[in-house]
Every structure is written in structure tokens, then in C-alpha cells.
Amino acid sequence: MASLFRFPGTTKRERFDREQSSQGRAKPVPQGGAVLAGGGARAGFPAEDAPRSSSDGYAVSRAALSERGSQSLAMAGQALDTNSSSGPDLVLARLLLGHALAAAAGAIHPNAAIHSVCDAAAALEHGGELARVAGSSARGRALLACLEIEQEERLTRTELAQAELLIGKLLDPRLDKPAARRAVRWKWVGLALLVVGVATVVTTPTLLRGGPWEKYRWTASSATEGFSTTGTLGKVGPFQLLFHTEYEEEPWVTIDLVKLRLVHSISIRNREDCCDERCIPLVVELAGDDQRFVEVARRTETFDVWKVEFPARKSRYVRLRVEATTMLHLREIKIL
């Protein structure tokens, strides 16, 4: 990659050190995920969260880096939001995503010297995390390529949103190396259980049958790159999301229940890594065969899981719609 994303210079750090010194608690501030030379072991971290450091340097603690990365990711999501007070700022979003990527790489590889997006991507590629999350190292590199673009006119919201999804998965605390090794071991256990399960299903067909909602088909108003505009509720797409629309006015997803059914409750699981505010305000609507939708619930505050309950109503279609210009992306929808 030709250009490199650099961390802020020392001026801000010097200001911070002076401020800390004036308050009687001087403490060095590490830069990003890099291992800084000199100084030996540093105080200020809980014993169980001590920084992983080399013999001649120190690093930001893993938990602190993950937190920093999550904060940068959340701010990048806001910078991409057309509803923000300053409007979408793609350059700021790129810079914040670069910080989030470096933090993710530093948390996973605490002894690596990470000074740029290129360094972060290289560390994650070498460790195998990039391929594990993106499907292949080449695809991971392609998704992160937009973070190296310096010309504002070449940046696109769609590409940055794709990088945002990838970085969100890299910041998932479950993506550590011990967990990966455990996953390999459990894969074989899972295969053995699957064999037993298949035999059980043959004799008892309904034992492992999922809820009827899993077979309901959904249709989204649009789809960002890598996602589909149609699918079933029981099958998730890339990055453990059910669907992901483009930025548009009032994005929506409609679920077809095949025939008229009594619907009284809907469970909606929001995206977890960032940007949970994008689906607000969220409107839940029901319709019969005539597709004349009637609002039955509305959410104006962010949520992780929203269980909507209302008087039972015969319906053929369920529609979730955001009354804003934004993206809509959810992890799970259950029709009860």
C-alpha cells in the first residue's frame, strides 16, 4: 500500500503529560498499539490487565486497546451518519476507522509495532485473523484498502461501511488465539454430536426442528456489497448480520409469513459491535394479504434486544422501517 495512516504526533502527548504532571500523577501515554522503546515496566494498570510488553518497552493494555478501538469505531459510525449535526464526514470516518483497526491489531498482537494501517493489516494477515473474519486475506485487504485513500473525492460511504463491519468483527473479544484453538477442538466435538443428532432426527423428526419463524422469508429495501436483498430469518449473512441495507431514505425489511397468522410478539436483536443508533426511530408495522401496513409499535431509544408485544393481530406481512436516512442492519428477527 502506498500511503500510511499515521498516529497523531507528540504535541498532543506532551500536552497531556504536562497536564498530568501538574496534577501530581505523571504517567506516560502509549501511542496506539505500538511498543514504545525505553522505560521498562510501567505502573497504572490493574495486575490482571497488565500490558504485554517487550524487554525494552511497553504497550497499552489489551483491554484498554479494545475499548479505544470500540470508541473509535462508534465515532466512525457517527461520522458516516447523514443525520449527524455536521453531516457525513468521510475523511473523519476513515481516520477513526484507521485508529480502530490499529487498536484491534494491537489488542490481538500486543508485541507488534503498529504505526499505520499497513502495519495493522500486516499483523492481522500474518496472524490469520484477517482471513478468518473476511473469508480470505485478499478480501480482507480489499475491504481495508479504502483506509489508505487520502483524496476525499475517492472515498465512498459504502466502502467505509464495509471496512467498519470488518473492524467490528476484529474487535470482538472472542477473536483471540486461545478461542480459535478451542474452536478447532470443539469443531470435532460438534461433528460427533451432529452424527448423533442426525440419527436422532431420523427417529424423531420434530426433535431438532427450529421455530417456524426461521423459514419466513424477508426482503430488504436494498443491500450493501456482500449482502443480499432476500433471505430467511433462520440464516444469517456476513459478519453475523441478517441483512445490511445501503444508506437511503427510510430503509426497511419486510417478512412474509406465507399466510395469515396471529402475531402478538416480535423479538429484534440489534447489531452489537457499533452503530446501534442507526435503526432509530424504528417502526413495526403489520399487514394482511392486501399489504396495507398498520403501525403497532415504535422505538425511539437504542437497544440491544427489543421484544415488541402487542394485541394479537392476523397478519401476513411484518415490516420494520426506520424513519430516517440511514442504514438498517439487524442480527436477528423472531416472529412469535
Average pLDDT, the chain: 78
Domain boundaries, the chain: 10-175, 212-335
pLDDT value of residue 286? 97
Residue 179 in this model has a pLDDT that exceeds 70: no
| DSSP category for residue 183 | H
Query: Please, what is the end-to-end C-alpha distance for the chain in angstroms?
Result: 50
Confidence of residue 326 (pLDDT cuts 50, 70, 90): very high
pLDDT value of residue 87? 65
DSSP string, 35-96: PEESS-S--SS-GGGPPP--TTEE---HHHHHHHHHHHHHHHHHHT-TTSTT---HHHHHHH
Cell 412474509 -> residue? 256
Alpha-carbon span 196 to 229, nearest angstrom:
35
Q: Where are the alpha helices (DSSP H) in the chain?
A: 10-22, 62-79, 90-108, 117-127, 129-134, 137-144, 157-170, 177-203
Residue 193 in this model has a pLDDT that exceeds 60: no
- Give the best-scoring range by mean pLDDT among 40-44, 76-80, 193-197: 76-80
213-237: average pLDDT? 93
Check if the beta carbon of residue 104 is closer than 8 Å to that of residue 124. Answer: yes
Least confident segment among 99-103, 196-200, 276-280 = 196-200
Confidence of residue 172 (pLDDT cuts 50, 70, 90): confident
CA-CA-CA-CA torsion for 281, 261, 253, 294, nearest 10 degrees?
A: -40
Confidence of residue 98 (pLDDT cuts 50, 70, 90): very high
Residue 270 in this model has a pLDDT that exceeds 60: yes
Instruction: State the pTM of this model.
Output: 0.67
Give the model confidence (pLDDT) of 101-114 as tens digits.
999 999 999 888 88
pLDDT value of residue 130? 92
Tell me how crowded residue 14 is: count the other CB atoms within 10 A of its CB: 11
Q: For residue 178, give the 3-state DSSP assignment.
A: helix
Confidence of residue 226 (pLDDT cuts 50, 70, 90): confident
pLDDT value of residue 157? 87
**Residue 9 is which amino acid?**
G
Superfamily classification of domain 212-335: Galactose-binding domain-like (2.60.120.260)
Report the alpha-carbon angle 52-58-62, nearest 5. Answer: 40
